[in-house]
């Protein structure tokens, strides 16, 4: 059975901090999915690698996400084409697919990780034309396996009038996030990576061939430093930290819902909407794992339990009252352009960050790519060069980010309500048309009966006369 509470698995080892000076080839700052994948792939290529984690493995987003592994990036394929042109967009998409394949293959080697298949991206508005053009870009241009589902088919598996058509990704899949990140750390250690927890990096000196990395109780020397600290990075590079908009997303797990869940949700993969507002899936057979609210300041996840309850009630009123068993949150860094930050900032100083809401396949892709860049001279990280390190706006950016989020949610709710209004108006119109047709048919039938009666009467009169 899939593990689903927010607490770390019981058998997670705690690791020592770095208390002695150390020399390695590569120092990775940050023990999330990005840093761990990078470390594992580098050690596999023969490098000596240390991961310095300021707190503990997977304490943030990497251990608290919903585990949905999608193709592509958090930005639409059409935006990518607009930004870098068709050929480079296609190469970028292929890299992201390799990231998803990597997670599937790696998770398959971990005991106790159940993979479930399929994801639906549902539309909150009735805009079928957009669906067709997206299907064409994803399926025909980018070679991603996709199916278009009409509204009727969506509503067969999701009993709500909130959703219209959808894109089905049969090759997308789900993993248990915490088991995966801890499995990755265990795998990296078993192949020779040295992981130090409770070891915040407080400064770096990236000049020269051998760089120096400072922690409160020791220092480390290395040829390459990889900054994989997400928006928490802080002291080692405030300038880079300022290029990410920190965003907290909150998630909840419901109490068991018994048979009534199957009456409302019959889709076993994950469901997310095109506006990035709700994201959910069934776990443990009859519970919902649901994430929705976002803030640009850290909040207490328990405060969002009621908000998540009312989102569930609004979308699946048939479910009746739903109780939340557990809530948690995690922070991810969003870039201004929506694409991850991957590449060499100056000789030997690398960045691997900004994975946003879609970090499972992209951290895996980024980790592999940088390991190959440093150790095999693969320079495809340059495909990410058009996505520069843009200042995210500091406090003003956070206020703007929160306002944009509220606007998007409000706009999406209005657009959804309009689509449902139009749908109801269409069905009322259709009912009126049926009623008119029925009235005409019945009037015709009555007229025909009357004509038959009249002709029978005339016939009778003539026979009498």
Ligand X SMILES: Cc1cc2nc3c(=O)[nH]c(=O)nc-3n(C[C@H](O)[C@H](O)[C@H](O)COP(=O)(O)OP(=O)(O)OC[C@H]3O[C@@H](n4cnc5c(N)ncnc54)[C@H](O)[C@@H]3O)c2cc1C
Q: Which is nearer to ligand X, 168 or 419 (CB)?
A: 168
42, 179, 243, 291: which one binds ligand X (CB under 6 A): 291
Nearest C-alpha neighbor of 5 from the set 427, 305, 328, 221:
328
Q: Which of residues 228-267 bind ligand X (CB under 6 A)?
A: 228-230, 232-236, 249, 251
Q: How far apart are the first and last CA of the chain?
A: 91
Q: Tell me if 295 contacts ligand X by CB under 6 A.
A: no
Burial 2-39 (b: 16+ CB within 10 A, else e): bbbebebeeebeebebbeeebebbbbbbbbbbbbbbbb
> Do residues 179 and 360 touch, judged by C-beta distance below 8 A?
no
Q: Tell me if 341 contacts ligand X by CB under 6 A.
A: no
Encoding tokens for residue 250?
Answer: 């909150």
> Do residues 275 and 259 touch, judged by C-beta distance below 8 A?
no
> Do residues 67 and 174 touch, judged by C-beta distance below 8 A?
yes
Q: Tell me if 92 contacts ligand X by CB under 6 A.
A: no
Q: How far is the CB of 248 from ligand X (least distance, A)?
A: 7
97, 106, 334, 363: which one binds ligand X (CB under 6 A): 363
CB atoms within 10 A of CB 334: 21
Q: Which is nearer to ligand X, 236 or 343 (CB)?
A: 236
Q: Which is nearer to ligand X, 149 or 355 (CB)?
A: 355
2, 12, 15, 32: which one binds ligand X (CB under 6 A): 32
Q: How far is the CB of 177 from ligand X (least distance, A)?
A: 7
Q: How far is the CB of 79 from ligand X (least distance, A)?
A: 18
Encoding tokens for residue 129?
Answer: 């034309």
Burial of 315 (0-12, 13-18, 19+ CB in 10 A): buried
Q: Tell me if 182 contacts ligand X by CB under 6 A.
A: no
Q: Tell me if 61 contacts ligand X by CB under 6 A.
A: yes
Q: Which is nearer to ligand X, 163 or 290 (CB)?
A: 290
59, 196, 304, 387: which one binds ligand X (CB under 6 A): 59
Q: Tell me if 288 contacts ligand X by CB under 6 A.
A: no
Q: How far is the CB of 441 from ligand X (least distance, A)?
A: 53
Rounded CA-CA distance 122/346 in Å is: 42
Q: How far is the CB of 184 from ligand X (least distance, A)?
A: 10
Q: Which is nearer to ligand X, 27 or 151 (CB)?
A: 27
Single out the segment in contact with ligand X by CB under 6 A; choices: 26-34, 91-99, 376-384, 431-439: 26-34
Q: Tell me if 327 contacts ligand X by CB under 6 A.
A: no
30, 276, 293, 348: which one binds ligand X (CB under 6 A): 30
Burial 386-417 (b: 16+ CB within 10 A, else e): ebebeebeeeebbeebbeebeeebeebeebbe
Single out the segment in contact with ligand X by CB under 6 A; choices: 59-67, 300-308, 400-408, 430-438: 59-67
Q: Which is nearer to ligand X, 341 or 419 (CB)?
A: 341
Half-sphere exposure of 443 (CA within 13 A, CB side): 6
User: Helix and strand tally (H, E) in the chain?
Assistant: 11, 19
Q: Which is nearer to ligand X, 26 or 126 (CB)?
A: 26
Q: Tell me if 280 contacts ligand X by CB under 6 A.
A: no
Backbone Cα Rg of the chain: 28
Contacts of 420 (CB under 8 A, 6+ apart): 161, 162
Q: How far is the CB of 430 from ligand X (least distance, A)?
A: 38
Single out the segment in contact with ligand X by CB under 6 A; choices: 130-138, 142-150, 349-357, 417-425: 349-357
Nearest C-alpha neighbor of 248 from the set 291, 189, 199:
291
27, 66, 80, 193: which one binds ligand X (CB under 6 A): 66
169, 332, 350, 381: which one binds ligand X (CB under 6 A): 332
> Do residues 144 and 99 touch, judged by C-beta distance below 8 A?
no
The count of residues interacting with ligand X (CB under 6 A) is 43
Q: Tell me if 360 contacts ligand X by CB under 6 A.
A: yes
Single out the segment in contact with ligand X by CB under 6 A; choices: 165-173, 185-193, 356-364, 386-394: 356-364
Nearest C-alpha neighbor of 259 from the set 325, 319, 313:
319
Q: Tell me if 358 contacts ligand X by CB under 6 A.
A: yes
**Bridge partners for 252 per DSSP:** 290, 327
**Bridge partners for 341 per DSSP:** 353
8, 246, 330, 338: which one binds ligand X (CB under 6 A): 330
Q: Which of residues 196-215 bind ligand X (CB under 6 A)?
A: 200-201
Q: Tell me if 2 contacts ligand X by CB under 6 A.
A: no
Q: Tell me if 102 contacts ligand X by CB under 6 A.
A: no
> Do residues 341 and 384 touch, judged by C-beta distance below 8 A?
yes
24: phi > 0 → left, psi -120 to 50 → alpha, else beta; which?
beta
Binding site for ligand X (CB under 6 A): 29-35, 52-55, 59-62, 64-68, 200-201, 228-230, 232-236, 249, 251, 291, 330, 332, 353, 355-360, 363
């Amino acid at each position: 059975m899939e593990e689903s509470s927010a607490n770390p698995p019981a058998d997670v080892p705690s690791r020592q901090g770095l208390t002695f000076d150390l020399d390695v080839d590569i120092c990775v700052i940050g023990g999330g999915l990005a840093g761990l994948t990078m470390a594992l792939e580098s050690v596999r290529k023969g490098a000596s690698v240390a991961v310095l984690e300021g707190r503990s493995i997977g304490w943030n987003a990497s251990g608290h996400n919903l585990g949905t592994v999608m193709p592509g990036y958090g930005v639409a394929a059409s935006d990518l084409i607009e930004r870098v042109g068709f050929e480079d967009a296609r190469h970028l998409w292929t890299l992201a697919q390799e990231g998803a394949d990597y997670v599937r293959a790696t998770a398959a080697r971990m005991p106790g990780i159940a993979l479930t298949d399929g994801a639906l991206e549902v539309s909150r508005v009735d805009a079928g034309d957009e669906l067709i053009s997206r299907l064409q870009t994803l399926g025909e241009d980018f070679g991603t396996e996709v199916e278009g589902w009409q509204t009727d088919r969506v509503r067969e598996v999701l009993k709500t009038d909130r959703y219209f058509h959808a894109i089905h990704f049969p090759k997308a899949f789900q993993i248990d996030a915490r088991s995966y990140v801890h499995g990755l750390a265990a795998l990296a250690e078993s192949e020779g990576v040295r992981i130090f927890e409770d070891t915040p990096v407080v400064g770096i000196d990236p000049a020269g061939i051998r760089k120096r990395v400072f922690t409160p109780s020791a220092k480390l020397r290395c040829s390459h430093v990889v900054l994989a600290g997400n928006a928490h990075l802080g002291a080692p590079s405030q300038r880079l930290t300022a290029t990410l908009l920190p965003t907290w997303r909150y998630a909840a797990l419901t109490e068991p819902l018994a048979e009534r869940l199957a009456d409302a949700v019959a889709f076993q993969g994950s469901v997310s909407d095109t506006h990035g507002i709700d994201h959910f899936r069934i776990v443990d057979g009859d519970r919902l794992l649901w994430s929705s609210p976002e803030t640009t300041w850290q909040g207490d996840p328990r405060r969002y339990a009621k908000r998540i309850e009312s989102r569930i009630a609004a979308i699946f009123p048939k479910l009746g009252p739903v109780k939340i068993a557990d809530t948690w949150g995690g922070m991810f860094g969003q870039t201004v352009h929506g694409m991850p930050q991957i590449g060499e900032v100056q000789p030997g100083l690398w960045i691997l960050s900004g994975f946003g809401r879609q970090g499972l396949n992209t951290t895996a892709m980024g980790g592999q790519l940088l390991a190959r860049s440093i150790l095999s001279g693969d320079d495809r990280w340059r495909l990410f060069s058009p996505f520069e390190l843009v200042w995210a706006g500091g406090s003003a950016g956070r206020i703007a980010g929160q306002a944009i989020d509220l606007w998007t949610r409000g706009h999406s709710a209005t657009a959804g309500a309009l689509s449902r209004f139009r749908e109801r108006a269409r069905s009322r119109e259709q009912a009126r048309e049926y009623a008119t047709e029925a009235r005409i048919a019945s009037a015709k039938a009555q007229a025909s009966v009357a004509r038959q009666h009249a002709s029978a009467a005339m016939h009778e009169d003539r026979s009498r006369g």
